[in-house]
A and B are shown apart, each in its own frame.
Chain A
């Protein structure tokens, strides 16, 4: 019997997959748009290469965290060759759980750091 799929069973998400899910939280997008969104959000510090991007998309599709959008019939040329992806309902639950996990981690980390450096790190 398959184990039940809970959002927690997918955590922690690898970096590339988290970036893709965040990019898709804005709405459906194709590979190039996802790559641009990640680069813009990180101010160019994080650039997903085609290999990293599509291996991550393959894993997300297999886990059904994202789904492919059926292309509209009026798209032609290169646009017709691009596949659109969107966050699935389950994917949005996984993203929410991961962001909550990260914010808890940041909160705890700040508290510890504050105890260690009460002046906020200034000597």
Chain B
């Protein structure tokens, strides 16, 4: 009995984890874990009070709840995209997406009068254009913003460490910790290595003398010399501040 309950709870959690995919990625990132946890709690309650039938009803209610609550969130995402919040992410994407959508409409119009394959192709083009637009608005495509360099961070601004690609090189910026005072330095140590050469990314708590193989010490840059911007779930460093700080990087 205990095994059956555990299996049913695991299965329902697995189904709900897939249902969660109906929500925009940014919403899932913020609340998905808690929603899954809450659903597991509800499953346990239902199993205790009503057994497998209760869990099945709960799943059905959760599916209906998803159908009702997810569309308004997508509508919000689309509204943000329509307001042009993503317009500065690249005209190339905007033009390609709109051309695809226009092509889709044209094929649909032609297909309505001539053949089914043109209609199918047109529908597919429209669907791709729509989902690409939604994905771009949701930050899933992570297209670079003009004049900025996307960096990977743990959400802190300024981050404790990040890496950027610059021409043929990969640069790794990190703050060193002062173990005695328990504070981070206000200077980034910058390591670099040629792109394509072997060498895993060094860890942020690297002691100054321990430069990993493949990397060389480029210099040090005051944290305040770099300008960071956050947009959606990405953090950017402005290209101008990056170039200025690198040219002034001192050993």
Contacts and interface: CB of A to CB of B under 8 A. Distances in A.
Interface of A: 30-32, 35, 47, 49-55, 57-58, 78, 81-83
Contacts of A35: 38, 42
Given A49-B69, A82-B34, 15 more contacts: A31-B35, A31-B38, A32-B41, A49-B64, A50-B35, A50-B65, A51-B65, A54-B27, A55-B72, A57-B31, A58-B30, A81-B33, A81-B34, A81-B37, A83-B34
Interface in B63-86: 64-66, 68-70, 72-73
A49 B62 contact: yes
B39 interface: yes
Contacts of A81: 33-34, 37
B38 A51 contact: no
Interface in B25-74: 27, 30-31, 33-35, 37-39, 41-42, 61-62, 64-66, 68-70, 72-73
Interface in B116-168: none
Contacts of A83: 34
Interface of B: 23, 27, 30-31, 33-35, 37-39, 41-42, 61-62, 64-66, 68-70, 72-73
Chain B, interface SS category: helix
Contacts of B23: 51
A50 B62 contact: yes
- Of B23, B35, B39, B64, chain A has the most CB atoms within 10 Å of the CB of B35
B61 A58 contact: no
Contacts of A78: 37
26 contacts: A32-B42, A35-B38, A35-B42, A49-B62, A49-B64, A49-B65, A50-B35, A50-B38, A50-B39, A50-B42, A50-B65, A51-B66, A51-B68, A51-B69, A52-B68, A52-B69, A53-B38, A54-B69, A55-B27, A58-B27, A58-B30, A58-B31, A78-B37, A81-B37, A82-B34, A83-B34
Nearest to B61: A49
Contact of A54 (B31, B41, B42): B31
A83 B30 CA distance: 11
Contacts of B68: 51-52
A31 B35 CA distance: 8
A28 B15 CA distance: 30
Given A47-B61, A55-B72, A58-B27, A32 B38 contact: yes
Most buried by B among A35, A54, A83: A54
Contact of A31 (B34, B65, B72, B73): B34
A58 B66 CA distance: 15
A121 B199 CA distance: 83
Nearest to A56: B69
A48 to B, nearest CB: 8
Contacts of A54: 27, 31, 34-35, 69
A51 B30 CA distance: 13
Contacts of A51: 23, 35, 62, 65-66, 68-70
A35 B38 CA distance: 9
B163 to A, nearest CB: 29
B69 A55 contact: yes
**Residue among B27, B30, B31, B66 with max Cβ neighbours from chain A (10 Å):** B31
- Residue from B30, B65, B70, B73 having most chain A Cβ neighbours under 10 A: B65
